[in-house]
Every structure is written in structure tokens, then in C-alpha cells.
């Protein structure tokens, strides 16, 4: 009896972690995801400090400082990424370009989410004719390749980075609507939804407070991957001339300028802006992979991970060691 009480008090209360803490714990175990996160944080710092890293001289912003004595120079100690057709420092332009790409990524996701989530939630929750109408509309959007739809909308709205964001954003709606609908269909059959309804909650409250929070894991994953896709699509649109207009230092537009000098061997004009696009997409994809694994172990891409296997082995070894010491 006494023994039982003793052992009971010995049991340390299990440290409770918040849901976020749990997710973070799983996320940080994935080195690739951490590399992605670090790269994105660096990218944000670069965007925030662009004017400090590449300052202007009052008349021109840093990315637009022209110097006709230094046109099309190859990379050097003075100009790390070389200079372009009108003597602007490519490094400064690349640094300032991060602002635009990050902005594009966020605005597109916000458009996609604010339209896509309600559409998907309504379709999944009410089913019936509303579901049919919404999903047929989504089918139509999906029947046209995303970039083509974006080109059509951007062409109609006229060139400009804002219109590109709207165009790519509309193209992003179907993914979120579909993801949320599928989740809502599964979640709304669960007991706690029934309980909320029995407690007298109305449909809006049930969707907002009880269903949607349980649908967010795949949406967050889609958003981080979708941001990568949005940045790539927007750069593509700028590349064909629909996006940012001169002298905006947009990476896709810089590639379009550099392409004209490509066959003449000025590789630095295309290498660096493209490398930045690839880098930011790479980082977002790595983070997305990590988020998927951390948010929902069921969605794991790799099945039984080596890390987990090793952890179990280590735990076993530790347990053996402990019992060995105990004896």
C-alpha cells in the first residue's frame, strides 16, 4: 500500500506541451526543414534591410543607381554580381528584388486562402447543390493550366505586379478550396461537431470554431508549397513582360533583360536573379516538406523515418544501459 503511494508520487507529471510546441519539436528534428526555415528568415532579413545592404544616393534608390562608365561588367570585388546594360549593380537589384518576390508570395496566398477556404468549407459542409455549383466552378478553373489562366487574367488587367498578384492569386483558389472541402467532409462527421450542434451552436460557429481549426494542417502545408509555386509563376509572368515593369528590380523581369545578352556571354545577368528564384522556392519546398511531417505524422511522405528508427534504437540502448546500471 505504502509502496504503491510511494511509486505514485515518484511518477513525475508528464510535461505538457502546447500543440505548437509539439509541432515545433517535430519540425526542428528535420535538418532540411530547418535549413529551409533559416534560408527564408535570411531572405526576409535581406528584404527588410535592402536599403541598408544596397543603399542609394538620394536621387536614385540603391537598385537604380546608373553609371554609364561601368556597363555590363562581369562580377568583381566591387560589383559582386556584376553590372547590367545601363550600369546598375546587379547585386543591389537582386537584393531589392527579394521584397517583390516575398510580397507576391504572401499576397497570392492570402487571395487563395481568403477565397478558397470559405468556398471549400461551404461546399463541404452544406453539400448538395451549393457544393455542386462551387466544385464545377473549381473544375473549370482547373481545366486550364494555372500559368495560362494567370496569363489570361494578367493580360486582361494590364501589365503590372499588382495585376500579376491578382492573376496568380485567382489561379491559386482551387487548391485551397479542394483541400478544405476534403477536410471538412471528413471532420464534420466527427462527434465533437455533433456535440457542438447539440449545444446549440449555429452553422457559422460550427464551421469557424470547430471544423476549420481541424482542417488547417494540410492548408498550411499547401500554403508553404503554394507560395513557392506563386513566386515561380509570378516570375514567369514578369519574364514574358506581363509583370513588374522597368525599373522595378523583379527577378523574372531581370531574367528577361539578361536573356537578350545571353548569347553574347553575359552570364551574370541571368545566373543570379534565377538563382535567387530557385533558392527561395527551394527553401519554401524544404520547409513545406518539414511542416507536412511535423503537422500531421499521417501525411508523412517518407513512411518510417530513419530518425525515428534511430531514436527508437537509442531509446532501447539507453533503457538497457539504465537497467544495467541499476543492477
Chain residues in the site for other proteins (CB under 8 A)? 32, 136-137, 139-141, 143-148, 151-153, 155-158, 228, 232, 235-236, 239-242, 255, 258-259, 262-263, 265, 267, 270-271, 274, 277-279, 281-282, 285-286, 289, 301-304, 306
3-state secondary structure of 89: strand
Smallest distance from other proteins to CB 232, Å? 5
3-state secondary structure of 144: coil
Whose Cβ is closer to other proteins: residue 77's or residue 263's? Answer: 263
State the Cα–Cα distance between residues 266 and 140, nearest whole angstrom.
43
Q: 206 — phi, psi (to 5°)?
A: -60, -45
Contact 116, 222 (CB under 8 A): no
Whose Cβ is closer to other proteins: residue 126's or residue 137's? Answer: 137
193 grid coordinates? 461537431
**Exposure of 276 by Cβ count < 10 A (0-12 exposed, 13-18 middle, 19+ buried)?**
buried
Contact 176, 116 (CB under 8 A): yes
Smallest distance from other proteins to CB 93, Å? 16
Smallest distance from other proteins to CB 286, Å? 6
Smallest distance from other proteins to CB 150, Å? 9
- Residue showing cell 515561380: 232
Smallest distance from other proteins to CB 298, Å? 12
State the Cα–Cα distance between residues 120 and 123, nearest whole angstrom.
5
State the Cα–Cα distance between residues 31 and 298, nearest whole angstrom.
20
271 grid coordinates? 545566373
Whose Cβ is closer to other proteins: residue 29's or residue 205's? Answer: 29
Whose Cβ is closer to other proteins: residue 205's or residue 308's? Answer: 308
Calculated CA dihedral for residues 273, 276, 282, 284, nearest 10 degrees: -120
Whose Cβ is closer to other proteins: residue 58's or residue 265's? Answer: 265
3-state secondary structure of 278: helix
Whose Cβ is closer to other proteins: residue 211's or residue 227's? Answer: 227
Smallest distance from other proteins to CB 50, Å? 22
Amino acid at each position: 500500500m505504502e509502496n504503491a503511494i510511494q511509486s505514485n508520487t515518484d511518477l513525475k507529471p508528464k510535461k505538457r506541451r502546447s500543440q505548437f510546441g509539439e509541432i515545433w519539436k517535430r519540425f526542428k528534428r528535420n535538418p532540411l526543414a530547418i535549413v529551409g526555415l533559416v534560408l527564408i528568415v535570411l531572405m526576409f532579413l535581406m528584404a527588410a534591410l535592402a536599403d541598408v545592404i544596397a543603399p542609394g544616393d538620394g536621387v536614385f534608390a540603391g537598385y537604380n543607381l546608373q553609371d554609364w562608365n561601368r556597363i555590363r561588367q562581369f562580377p568583381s570585388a566591387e560589383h559582386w554580381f556584376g553590372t547590367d546594360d545601363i550600369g546598375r549593380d546587379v547585386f543591389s537589384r537582386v537584393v531589392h528584388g527579394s521584397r517583390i518576390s516575398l510580397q507576391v508570395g504572401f499576397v497570392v496566398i492570402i487571395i487563395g486562402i481568403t477565397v478558397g477556404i470559405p468556398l471549400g468549407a461551404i461546399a463541404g459542409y452544406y453539400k448538395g447543390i451549393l457544393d455542386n455549383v462551387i466544385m464545377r466552378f473549381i473544375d473549370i478553373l482547373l481545366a486550364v493550366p494555372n500559368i495560362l489562366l494567370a496569363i489570361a487574367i494578367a493580360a486582361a488587367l494590364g501589365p503590372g505586379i499588382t495585376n500579376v498578384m491578382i492573376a496568380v492569386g485567382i489561379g491559386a483558389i482551387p487548391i485551397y478550396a479542394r483541400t478544405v472541402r476534403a477536410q471538412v467532409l471528413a471532420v464534420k462527421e466527427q462527434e465533437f461537431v455533433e456535440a457542438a450542434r447539440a449545444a446549440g451552436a449555429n452553422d457559422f460557429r460550427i464551421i469557424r470554431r470547430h471544423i476549420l481549426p481541424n482542417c488547417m494542417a494540410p492548408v498550411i502545408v499547401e500554403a508553404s508549397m503554394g507560395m513557392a509555386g506563386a513566386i515561380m509563376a509570378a516570375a514567369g509572368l514578369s519574364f514574358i513582360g506581363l509583370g513588374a515593369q522597368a525599373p522595378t528590380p523583379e527577378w523574372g523581369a531581370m531574367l528577361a533583360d539578361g536573356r537578350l545578352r545571353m548569347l553574347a556571354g553575359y552570364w551574370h545577368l541571368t545566373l543570379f536573379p534565377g538563382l535567387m528564384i530557385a533558392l527561395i522556392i527551394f527553401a519554401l519546398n524544404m520547409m513545406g516538406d518539414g511542416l507536412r511531417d511535423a503537422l500531421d505524422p499521417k501525411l508523412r511522405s517518407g513512411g518510417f523515418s530513419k530518425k525515428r528508427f534511430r531514436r527508437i534504437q537509442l531509446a532501447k540502448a539507453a533503457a538497457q544501459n539504465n537497467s544495467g546500471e541499476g543492477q
